[in-house]
Amino acid sequence: MKVAKNIAYDDDRRRYYVTFHYGNGVKSTKTFTTKADAVRALKQFEADKANEEVVEPTRDSLGEWMRYWLENISKPNVRATTYHGYKNLVERHLIPSLGGKPLQKVTAADIREYYKKKLSGPKALSQNSLRKHHDVLNQIFQAAVLEDKLRKNPMRIVSAPKKETIQYTIYTAEELHDLFEKVKGNRLEIVVKLAGYYGLRREEICGLMWQDIDFERNLFEIRRSMTMAGGQLLIDEPKTKSSYRKEAMNDDVRELLLKLRDRQEENKRMLKDDYMDTGFILCWEDGKPYRPNYISELFTKFLKDNGLKKIRLHDLRHSFASIANDLGVPMFNISKALGHGSTAVTSGIYTHMFDDSHKETIDRVTEAIQQFKKTGKAT
């Protein structure tokens, strides 16, 4: 029985039915126990519709929208490695836990419950790892809002997981010198020295090609990175514009590169058509490039076999930053050498490491004050 425009009453069920018209023939119906609730809901809907705050109902699940977002919104606009990282996160974590829920019914409480589960149990994630999930979820829901799939982004009231300070294990200059001595003649020598002398990322080292080396001017350029995704080698642009940079070759690295080039030329002559001339500096005897994961595994084994302190290959980059800071190198210069976009990025990563740089200043001020107290003069 119709009781008002777009409101009907069912005598048997004692429920009020409200029909919401979105336009283009799209409509939905909801039930209410009282007429007052039905009228209030209809008025609110009409007001929201007038303010263009109404979205058409969709039967899409969150999982369906996530896959649409991956292929049609994310993939065309991010680096290949970034896309594969997003896809791995979505398929392994987000869809299994949240994907079955209707897109338009996912709440902030659902997200918080997801975070709670991911931070507990034997396979618990760290707060920093979960922050990546938070950032991706925010992108996914915000895209749904922009494409009129959602009225509001539920992430707007979900707090990001607290960022944890990472304590890096690094080598001192003395320890790095010891490593350099022991790695001489090993296939890892050029890897270790590029990471230790220049703070290069593993992906940047693997991406180096002979065309990037200028022996006449003693320079090499960082132009690309190599990563693994889904068992496939991916060649990509550096992470940021600042990651494109030129570095001056020291004598040690220059000599190593010349030896490597001669060795590769000899392999080409010996293997002839069986040689895969990829142009990469790091490669096997047949020219096939190393996998980035392989050199990390090789580095870990080398440290163990030689009784050296256990660190990750990437920690040589952190060691470079720490040694430069200890030597009083300005933050701006460290940031440029590392290929960071700004000193804010560098200080954000190494705050805990660089805090000691203030100790000398504090000690000198303290000494001056105490000296003044004794002599009446500041030193």
pLDDT at 377 over 60: no
Q: Please choose, from the candidates 130, 140, 151, the residue with its C-alpha nearest in 3D space to the C-alpha of residue 54.
A: 151
Please calculate the CA angle 66-71-74 and round it to the nearest 5 degrees: 80
For residue range 309-357, what is the model confidence (pLDDT) as tens digits?
999 999 999 999 988 888 888 888 888 888 888 877 787 777 666 655 4
For residue 280, list its beta bridge partners: 209
pLDDT at 141 over 80: yes
Between 155 and 237, the more confident residue is: 155
pLDDT at 233 over 70: yes
| CA 150 – CA 56 distance, rounded (Å) | 8
pLDDT at 122 over 50: yes
Q: What's the mean pLDDT when you consider all of the chain? A: 88
For residue 137, list its beta bridge partners: none
- Please give the pLDDT value at position 87: 95
pLDDT at 97 over 80: yes
Between 275 and 165, the more confident residue is: 275
Which domains does the chain possess? 2-50 (1.20.5), 62-157 (1.10.150.130), 173-313 (1.10.443.10)
For residue range 18-39, what is the model confidence (pLDDT) as tens digits?
888 877 776 788 999 999 999 9
- Please give the pLDDT value at position 5: 87
- Per the CB < 8 A criterion, the answer to whether 200 and 317 are in contact is yes
- Please give the pLDDT value at position 358: 47
pLDDT at 178 over 80: yes
Task: Indicate left, alpha or beta for 230 from its phi (over 0: left) and psi (-120 to 50: alpha).
Answer: left
- Please give the pLDDT value at position 4: 84
pLDDT at 369 over 70: no
